Amino acid sequence: MTQSNYVVDPMISAKSIAARVEVLACEITEHFTGTDKLIVVGLLRGSFVFIADLVRELDLPVEVDFLETSSYGNSLESSREVRILKDIRGEIEGRDVLVVEDIVDTGHTLNHVLHLLKSRNPNRLEVCALLDKPSRREVDITATWIGFEIPDEFVVGYGIDYAQLNRNLDHIGKVRFV
């Protein structure tokens, strides 16, 4: 069900996000130092702003690819059934791969994507998620790097949508129905 009357209350500022992205990029660069190429796989569409900022801070040879899974539609709840709508273009066998996700919520999306990518035998497969809602987890899965841990709130901005809107906010806010 879609409710249309809501406001977005600020939660994480653009400045805080930028500072955190810089730290994450340093840690990721250090982890993959010496790689001949890091394939950064962004999960569409929510990660598009995060991945754009993150890759520009990585001091590594980087290839960018995208994968799209079925989404929430206009709902606030995960469907738990994950389908691949668009697969990556490149080969990842023997490669170093970093999956970039906007939010880990129930964990079903990431679980499905990691199983799929693992079956293609990458050399290393790690995950960087901007946001983590651990209290919502239904599948035992954790990202290697997490930007911010947040409570069980529905959030938007910095690439993340509610019914396809609010992706263009420069900060993260929480949706409050009025």
Catalytic residue list: 105
Among 46, 157, 159, 173, binds Mg ion (CB under 5 A): 46
The residue count for the chain: 178
Judged by CB under 6 A, does residue 106 bind ligand IMP?
Answer: yes
Assign 3-class secondary structure to 52-115.
HHHHHHCCCCEEEEEEEECCCCCCCCCCCCCCEEECCCCCCCCCEEEEEEEEECCCHHHHHHHH
- Quick check: 110 and 82 in contact, CB under 8 A? no
Judged by CB under 6 A, does residue 166 bind ligand IMP?
Answer: no
Nearer to ligand IMP, 55 or 100 (CB): 100
- Using CB under 6 A as the criterion, what x/- string covers residues 34-53 for binding ligand IMP? ------------x-------
Separation CA 173–CA 158 (nearest Å): 9
Query: Shortest Cβ distance from residue 33 to Mg ion (Å)?
Result: 29
* Site residues (vs ligand IMP, CB under 6 A): 46, 72, 78, 101-110, 154-156, 160
* Site residues (vs Mg ion, CB under 5 A): 46
